[in-house]
């Protein structure tokens, strides 16, 4: 491990806005029987107010959490990510700028129900989440995750999805349709086709990856919806609702930091007219 990461991990221990729970304690009774953390149901006490709580899941460096919190001091914002070296940047900024409405939680998103009580959260942001082409249950807008969110969202709680992935956007839209979820706003080109019904902050606050993809010319999509569904959530099975193969193909090869990722290499090999074996 590099010295810079070690430095960041050590400094993380000094940030009161950053909670780093033990995974071993959460999993003491097994993956399917998570133990509740002591902070569950106590976040308003931690913030010392009763303002609404908004989560950003997979927040990375926390710039979106910070940006929303700076523009909206009447709400409490919590950024969630598993990468401590990334969270360091947001936690350090919030600490140095004495931001009372910001907190960060270092944990896996799969464990999120261990930290929030029923009705404790008002909104959720999913910003540039991994599309998880091969594993539906790993997508942060899948029925499995929506069930988790429903356990702690207030009635009428809102989920926001902001992504460069048309695959993930269309999948999430189809999930909403399959489950009769009320869509509040949607666009497949947030900046190219401005919609006045979408709150200005959605465009004004940008993540690190959002800036990167915009510079590369990729359109940014946005979708917000209400989890107002009773009964089990279902996946979109009708190809007319969502054709997984077609949207995956439409995504096309994607560069990250100017280089091929594992996914772009896979797509390019798949699209090649012949393989090495030929």
Give me the active site residues, please.
Answer: 130
8 Å CB contact between 74 and 151: no
Per-residue HEC secondary structure of the chain comes to CCHHHHHHHHHHCCCCCEECCCHHHHCCCCCCCCCCCCCCCCHHHHHCCCCCEEEEECCCCCHHHHHHHHHCCCCEEEEEECCHHHHHHHHHHHHHCCCCCEEEEECCHHHHHHCCCCCCEEEEEEECCCCCCCCHHHCCCCHHHHHHHHCCEEEEEEEEEEECCHHHHHHHHHHHHHCCCEEEEEECCCCCCCCCCCCCHHHHCCCHHHHHHHHCCCCCEEEEEECCCCCCCCCCCCCCCCCHHHHHHHHCCCEECCEECHHHHHHHHHHCCCCCCC
Q: Which residues contact 213 (CB under 8 A, 6 or more apart)?
A: 128, 164, 220
């Amino acid at each position: 491990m590099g010295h810079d990461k070690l430095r960041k991990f050590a400094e993380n221990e000094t940030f009161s806005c950053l909670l780093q729970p033990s995974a071993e304690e959460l999993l003491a009774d097994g993956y399917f029987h998570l133990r509740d953390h002591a902070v569950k149901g106590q976040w308003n006490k931690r913030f010392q107010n009763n303002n609404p709580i908004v989560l950003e899941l997979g927040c990375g460096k926390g710039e979106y959490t910070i940006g929303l919190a700076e523009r909206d001091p009447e709400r409490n914002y919590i950024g969630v990510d598993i990468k401590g070296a990334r969270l360091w940047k947001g936690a350090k900024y919030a600490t140095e700028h004495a931001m009372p409405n910001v907190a960060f939680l270092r944990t896996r998103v799969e464990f999120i129900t261990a930290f929030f009580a029923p009705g404790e959260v008002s909104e959720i942001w999913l910003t540039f989440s991994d599309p998880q082409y091969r594993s539906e249950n790993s997508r942060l807008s899948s029925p499995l995750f929506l069930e988790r969110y429903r356990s702690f969202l207030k009635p009428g709680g809102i989920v926001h999805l902001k992504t460069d992935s048309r695959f993930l956007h269309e999948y999430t839209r189809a999930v909403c349709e399959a489950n009769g979820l009320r869509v509040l706003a949607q666009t497949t080109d947030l900046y190219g086709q401005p919609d006045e019904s979408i709150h200005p902050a959605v465009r004004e606050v940008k993540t690190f990856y959002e800036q990167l993809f915009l510079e590369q010319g990729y359109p940014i999509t946005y979708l917000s919806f209400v989890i107002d569904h009773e009964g089990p959530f279902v996946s979109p099975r009708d190809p007319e609702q969502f054709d997984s193969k077609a949207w995956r193909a439409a995504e096309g090869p994607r560069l990250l930091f100017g280089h091929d990722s594992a996914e772009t290499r896979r797509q390019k090999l798949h699209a090649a007219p012949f393989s090495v074996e030929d």
